[in-house]
């Protein structure tokens, strides 16, 4: 598909124009209102370059974004205020948060914007029409959003993390204004295109996270494309169960065991090797200070507590094995932590994989961290973004791209 880029828009000229930008400010938060804080500002930082280019060129910018999953009405815990506070601290341009999305407050604030200023609308998901399955409802909301920038306005989609959604601020508004691809989305596409259909080989995929059901479609599409798929995180216990092993109290999706068993068989047939842990860190309870120990992955029933316990991380031997597999790769894609990295005692596996990607990148491989918890984990463990080839802001969008699905936000931007 062909797209018009931000460069194209800037070449046309934006001085004195209002530009509507869909950014990704869906940041992780901690704490309770009013003492809420952003725990990973990666998405805010990633949104800055496009806003800087537009404001430096003289545009007045109206930003649309969401945070969390509010139920179509304002909820203070989902306010964009914490993210906007971070943006304001980082930005070289004035930033204001509108009191609403497209109501009187937002209209007045947008009309009063000067060149080089940025107005962030309150969480677009506070309006139920944003995510409505009714085309007319979404279109009506999109019209209100487009009207904020007037007849001379334009739309820039710089939120790759939302392009897999058929939402008003992503899909419908692109039909109402001249639409352009933001630099962040362009960068994501450039990297993801290097993962399919012919990546540099060996192509190693590392998958973790809690549920195998979240990764079924991407596994399905990667069998026959990836040379190896390394499996960790909570999802690994469904794989171990599919091999006939007892996983004790660990997270297990019993209704997916047959599907996973089929993937293991297909992998052997189609040239994709599944690499599973040989040892597991098990704990007596799910707690940061829980008693824990290491057991063989095929002997979890003989755990150190008189029972199998609950698996919370891959073991040290597995970390070494995964690192060796990654070291042989020319292309690595990683999505999902290897354990409960939020607890220091169970972050070792995730740290081992992150370090292996850093080493592989230094050795000339392309390493891609697939957003979401993986991105938060590497930053939380002290790694810098520049140590990896690319840290995606996409999360679910990145996975759907690798699944081969059509992404509505990109379809809406395509030009003949």
Query: How far is residue 216's CA from residue 207's CA, in Å, rounded to a whole number?
Result: 11
Does 165 count as an annotated binding residue? yes
CATH top class, domain 196-403: alpha beta
Q: At 157, phi and psi to the nearest 5?
A: -95, 110
**CB atoms closer than 10 angstroms to residue 117:** 18
Same fold, 2-187 and 196-403: yes
Does 176 count as an annotated binding residue? no
Does 374 count as an annotated binding residue? yes
Give the active site residue among 22, 43, 138, 351.
43
- Cβ burial of 119 (10 Å; 0-12, 13-18, 19+) is buried
Catalytic, 18? Answer no
Instruction: Judge whether 41 and 89 are in contact, CB under 8 Å.
Output: no
Does 342 count as an annotated binding residue? yes
Does 69 count as an annotated binding residue? yes
User: What pTM was computed for the model?
Assistant: 0.88
Q: How many CA atoms lie within 13 A of 349 on its CB side?
A: 36
Show me where the domains of the chain are located: 2-187, 196-403
Does 68 count as an annotated binding residue? yes
Catalytic, 396? Answer yes
> Cα angle vertex 161, ends 202, 403, to 5°?
45
Catalytic, 112? Answer no
Question: What stretches of 254-379 adopt beta strand conformation (E)?
Answer: 273-275, 279-283, 292-296, 310-314, 331-335, 366-369
Nearest to 402 by CA among 170, 229, 257: 229
Tens digit of each residue's pLDDT, the chain (416 residues)? 789 999 999 999 999 999 999 999 999 999 998 889 999 898 999 999 999 999 999 999 999 999 999 999 999 999 999 999 999 999 999 999 998 888 899 999 999 999 999 999 999 999 999 999 999 999 999 999 999 999 999 999 999 989 999 999 999 999 999 999 999 999 999 998 888 888 999 999 999 998 889 889 899 999 999 999 999 999 999 999 999 999 988 999 999 999 999 999 999 999 999 999 999 999 999 999 999 999 999 988 877 776 778 999 999 999 999 999 999 999 999 999 999 999 999 999 999 999 999 999 999 999 999 867 888 889 889 999 999 999 988 778 888 888 888 899 999 998 76
Give the active site residue among 209, 372, 389, 395.
372
Give the active site residue among 194, 211, 266, 405.
211
Catalytic, 370? Answer no
CATH code given to domain 2-187: 3.40.50.1260
Query: How far is residue 272's CA from residue 223's CA, in Å, rounded to a whole number?
Result: 6
Does 54 count as an annotated binding residue? no
């Amino acid at each position: 598909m062909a797209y018009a880029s931000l460069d194209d828009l800037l070449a046309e000229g934006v001085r004195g124009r209002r530009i509507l930008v869909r950014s990704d400010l869906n940041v992780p938060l901690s704490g309770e209102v009013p003492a809420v804080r952003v725990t990973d500002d990666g998405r805010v930082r990633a949104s800055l370059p496009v806003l800087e280019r537009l404001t430096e060129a003289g545009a007045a910018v109206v930003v649309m974004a969401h945070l969390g999953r509010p139920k179509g009405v304002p909820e203070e815990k989902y306010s964009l205020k914490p993210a906007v506070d971070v943006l304001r601290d980082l930005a070289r341009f004035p930033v204001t948060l509108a009191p609403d999305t497209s109501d009187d407050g937002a209209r007045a604030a947008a009309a009063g914007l000067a060149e080089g200023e940025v107005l962030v609308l309150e969480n677009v998901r506070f309006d139920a029409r944003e995510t409505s399955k009714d085309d007319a409802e979404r279109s009506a909301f999109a019209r209100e959003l487009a009207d904020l920038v007037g007849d001379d306005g334009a739309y820039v989609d710089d939120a790759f993390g939302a392009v897999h959604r058929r939402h008003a601020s992503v899909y419908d508004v692109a039909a109402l204004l001249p639409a352009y691809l933001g630099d962040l989305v362009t960068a994501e596409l450039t990297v993801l295109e290097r993962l399919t259909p012919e990546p540099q080989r060996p192509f190693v995929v590392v998958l973790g996270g809690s549920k195998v059901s979240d990764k079924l479609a991407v596994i399905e599409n990667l069998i026959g494309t990836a040379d190896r798929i390394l499996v960790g995180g909570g999802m690994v216990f469904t794989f171990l169960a599919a091999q006939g092993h007892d996983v004790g109290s660990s997270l297990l999706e019993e209704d997916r065991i047959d599907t996973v068993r089929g993937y293991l068989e297909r992998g052997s047939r189609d040239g994709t090797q599944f690499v599973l842990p040989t040892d597991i860190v098990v704990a007596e309870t799910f707690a940061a200070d829980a008693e824990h120990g290491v057991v063989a992955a095929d002997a979890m029933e003989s755990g150190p507590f008189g029972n199998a316990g609950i698996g919370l991380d891959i073991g040290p031997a597995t970390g070494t094995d995964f690192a060796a597999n990654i070291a042989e790769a020319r292309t690595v894609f990683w999505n999902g932590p290897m354990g409960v990295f939020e607890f220091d005692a169970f972050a070792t596996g995730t740290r081992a994989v992150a370090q292996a990607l850093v080493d592989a990148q230094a050795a000339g491989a392309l390493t891609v961290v697939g957003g979401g918890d993986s991105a938060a984990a590497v930053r939380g463990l002290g790694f810098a973004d520049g140590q990896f080839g690319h840290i995606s802001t996409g999360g679910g969008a990145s996975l759907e791209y690798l699944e081969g699905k059509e992404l509505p936000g990109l379809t809406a931007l395509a030009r003949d």
